[in-house]
């Protein structure tokens, strides 16, 4: 498969290595200030986009308008998702966003939803999320923490919105974001009462899980149409 790699940072470089190991070709690599031109698009079967919150929208739009199936792992741009969905439809395109491409985190998302449904019947427990990432991360909270928060809000009726930092209202789910050294990504959900605490945690040991997930989804995506979810691929 011929891959257009948009973003050649920590994720882009690791994806390049893993894709080559799986016998794919990197048709082109585009980073900041490299122009994205239609001639580049013609040489690729799929695009993989891991850039910056401010850059994702234009990159995804370019791919959809130039008829390349595109997946994006970039976080922090989701206010523009409705517009991307519209562009995808207008161009009869294929697009997939996942806040986290690792199998382990996607299993953790399901566990989080099940725990929220169980805890919904309990009066005494209050949920919170803590996420820890490396100091170069641009956005907070992490995209993964936002997906976890959405899972809790869906199943646990006492919270209706999330808030970065300490919550002031009963209906707010606090998300605490810490930035430490080179931590690839740790997410912890806690339900605390006055007498005890229940917690579940996912810890990534490296970026390998994100990288593998992104390449496997990229192999599957060209056979799909429309807005896809990672659940459509993983079928968990
Ligand atoms: N979904 C997931 O599984 C997952 C996993 C890891 C990281 N991420 C997200 O992916 C994104 C990138 O992460 P990273 O660790 O590789 O970051 P990084 O900072 O190491 O790399 C980002 C790269 O994008 C480039 N870039 C910036 N603007 C660009 C533009 N307009 N066009 C092309 N390239 C541009 C930067 O120069 C840099 O090389 C972040 O949003 C991060 O949160 C998601
Ligand atoms: O390193 C990052 O940046 C990560 N971003 C994603 C997020 O925001 O959830 C996934 C984990 C790593």
- Whether 108 lines ligand 1, by a CB cut-off of 6 Å, is no
Residue whose CA is at the smallest distance from ligand 2 atom 3: 137
Domains of the chain: 2-101+208-234 (3.40.50.720), 103-203 (3.30.360.10)
Question: What is the spatial distance between Cα 64 and Cα 75, in angstroms, rounded to a whole number?
Answer: 18
Ligand 1 atom nearest 210 alpha carbon: 3
Residue whose CA is at the smallest distance from ligand 1 atom 34: 31
Q: How much is the pLDDT for 125?
A: 98
Give the number of other CB atoms < 10 A from CB of residue 149: 22
Residue 166: C-alpha distances to residues 77, 162, 170, 177 (Å)? 23, 10, 11, 11
Question: What is the spatial distance between Cα 144 and Cα 75, in angstroms, rounded to a whole number?
Answer: 9
Q: How much is the pLDDT for 111?
A: 98
Question: What is the spatial distance between Cα 234 and Cα 218, in angstroms, rounded to a whole number?
Answer: 13
Q: What is the pLDDT of residues 179-204, one digit of tens each?
A: 999 999 999 999 999 999 999 999 99
Averaged over 31-41, what is the pLDDT? 89
Q: How far is it between the farthest Cα atoms of the chain?
A: 63
Give the mutation target among 5, 6, 18, 31 for probing the ligand 1 site: most ligand atoms within 8 A of CB. 31
Q: How much is the pLDDT for 80?
A: 98
Q: How much is the pLDDT for 38?
A: 85
- Whether 11 lines ligand 1, by a CB cut-off of 6 Å, is yes
**Segments in 123-173 forming alpha helices (H):** 143-155
Q: What is the pLDDT of residues 63-72, one digit of tens each?
A: 999 999 999 9
């Amino acid at each position: 498969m011929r891959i257009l790699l948009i973003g050649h940072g920590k994720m882009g470089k690791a994806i390049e290595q893993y894709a080559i190991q799986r016998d794919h070709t990197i048709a082109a690599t585009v980073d900041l200030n490299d122009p994205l031109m239609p001639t580049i698009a013609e040489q690729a079967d799929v695009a993989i986009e891991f850039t910056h919150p401010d850059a994702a929208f234009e990159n995804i739009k370019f791919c959809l308008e130039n008829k390349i199936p595109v997946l994006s792992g970039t976080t922090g741009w989701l206010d523009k998702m409705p517009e991307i969905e519209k562009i995808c439809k207008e161009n009869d395109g294929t697009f997939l966003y996942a806040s986290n491409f690792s199998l382990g985190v996607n299993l953790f998302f399901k566990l989080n939803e099940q725990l929220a449904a169980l805890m919904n019947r309990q009066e005494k427990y209050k949920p919170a999320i803590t996420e820890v990432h490396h100091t170069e991360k641009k956005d907070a909270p992490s995209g993964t923490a936002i997906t976890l928060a959405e899972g809790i809000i869906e199943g646990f009726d006492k919270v209706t919105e999330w808030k970065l930092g300490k919550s002031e209202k009963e209906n707010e789910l606090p998300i605490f974001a810490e930035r430490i050294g080179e931590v690839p990504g740790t997410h912890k959900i806690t339900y605390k009462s006055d007498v005890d605490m229940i917690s579940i945690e996912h810890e990534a040991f490296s970026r390998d899980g994100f990288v593998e997930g992104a390449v496997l989804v990229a192999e599957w995506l060209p056979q799909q149409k429309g807005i896809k979810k990672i659940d459509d691929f993983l079928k968990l």
